[in-house]
Amino acid sequence: MNYILLAIPLFMILIIIELAWDKYKGTGFYRLNDTVNSIAMGIYSRLTGLMYAFIPFSAYVLVYENFSFLKLPLEDTWVWLAAFVVYDLGYYFLHRLGHTLNITWASHVIHHQSEDYNLSTALRQTSIPSVLAWLCLIPMALLGFPPVVLLAAGSFNLIYQFWVHTQHIKKLPSWYEAIFVTPSHHRVHHGKNKIYIDKNHGGVFILWDKLFGTFQSELDDEKVIYGISTQLASWNPIWGNVQFIGHLIKDAWLTKNWFDKFTLWFRATGYRPQDMEKNYPRVKTNGVVTKYDIENSAGTKAYILAQFFLCLVLVFAFLIMAKDLMPWQLILGATTLGLFLFSLSKVQEEKGSAILWEILKFAVLAVSAAMIASNVAWALPALSVIGFISIGSLYYLQRQKGASSLIKA
């Protein structure tokens, strides 16, 4: 059973509730473009996850079937409960490893890029698999936890982590704060303040951080600054996924130090060859910066919101259909939805090419609908009408913006 898929509607409802509360309280923890970008990154993660399912090799299954010391029974409740606890211990080391090396940070950095912190941040997940993270889960295979139990424990671990991405819950009762990961603990984890960096890695239990020396409480006199030291400064979900690994590739390619070319991947997070630091410096700061954003008109914001909700409907429908689709249909559908969100980022960033991307998006969407949902007679006509209305609306908004610019000039 796909517990994550079942939880998605609940996630969306809770985000809407928190957003409404945020507007009511006037706290300003949500910005439209950042929220759309975070959820877009989560959608990319789900879509690429479908692609990774084609990889037949699984280290966990291999170890479980051939090298496990035991074969724990699926029917015993204690096995599932023990798996939940043991998985979180493995997750602690997996998560800590994600912050330790350049190669693992290249995968995990995506989750930390947002300069806001709200429930939508929880959905901001990577599309780049960590090449070493699986090592932290191999002990569960050796202990004999069946793969289906691992998947369930991992799903519920991730579901638990959703609600701790909020600023509206300050502190919980001391007994709960002592045992479990809370919003306060996880706010610290997302902070780029020097005192907060690489702290509080637990997924469900904060006990691991206290046991292994990585715990840091949230301080009243040290307001959490969210984001990463090298600002992403983009709403492009593709660039968000490849920014850091792109930096690594550039450093490895251009550095004159041959040792660094091959080892910088496995050096401490943030390490750069000396000549690259000198010749290609990057702006880094652990302090407060002006949050990246593009000022959109009210009409453009309405367009972004409408397209985003259309995308959510299409994504959820596609994920439900996925189990019955052919591999080529999965690839086509995932690519189309990826293009949808990439094109939307062009609108968010007010790019002159946005309307061309939107035309391409709806053309590809129409072809995909005809090839994937041919049994749904109304799908293609409906998408065609929506496409014409959308392109016309965006054209009007761009003309209006152009006229406004001329008047100001």
Strand ranges inside 287-403, DSSP E? none
Exposed, middle or buried: residue 232 (CB in 10 Å: 0-12, 13-18, 19+)? buried
- Reply yes or no on whether the pLDDT at 9 is more than 80: yes
- Reply yes or no on whether the pLDDT at 55 is more than 90: no
Is residue 58 within 8 A of residue 208, CB to CB? The reply is no
pLDDT bucket at 406, cuts 50 / 70 / 90: very low
- Name residue, tokens 């204690």: 78
Exposed, middle or buried: residue 258 (CB in 10 Å: 0-12, 13-18, 19+)? exposed
What are the residue boundaries of the structural domains of the chain, listed by start?
A: 3-212, 298-402
Residue range 116-129, pLDDT digits in tens: 999 999 999 999 98
Q: How far apart are CA 371 and CA 325, in angstroms?
A: 11
Residue range 57-107, pLDDT digits in tens: 578 889 999 999 999 999 999 999 999 999 999 999 999 999 999 999 999
Q: Which helix (H) or strand (E) holds 49?
A: helix 32-52
pLDDT bucket at 409, cuts 50 / 70 / 90: very low
147: CB partners within 8 A, 6+ apart: 58, 60, 61, 64
Output the pLDDT for position 400.
86
Report the sign of the C-alpha dihedral through residues 185, 187, 190, 192, in that order.
Answer: negative
Residue range 260-295, pLDDT digits in tens: 999 999 999 999 999 999 999 999 999 999 999 999
Q: Nearest to residue 214, comparing CAs of 366, 93, 389?
A: 93
Residue type, 204: V
- Reply yes or no on whether the pLDDT at 130 is more than 90: no
Output the pLDDT for position 293.
94
**Its pTM surpasses 0.85:** yes
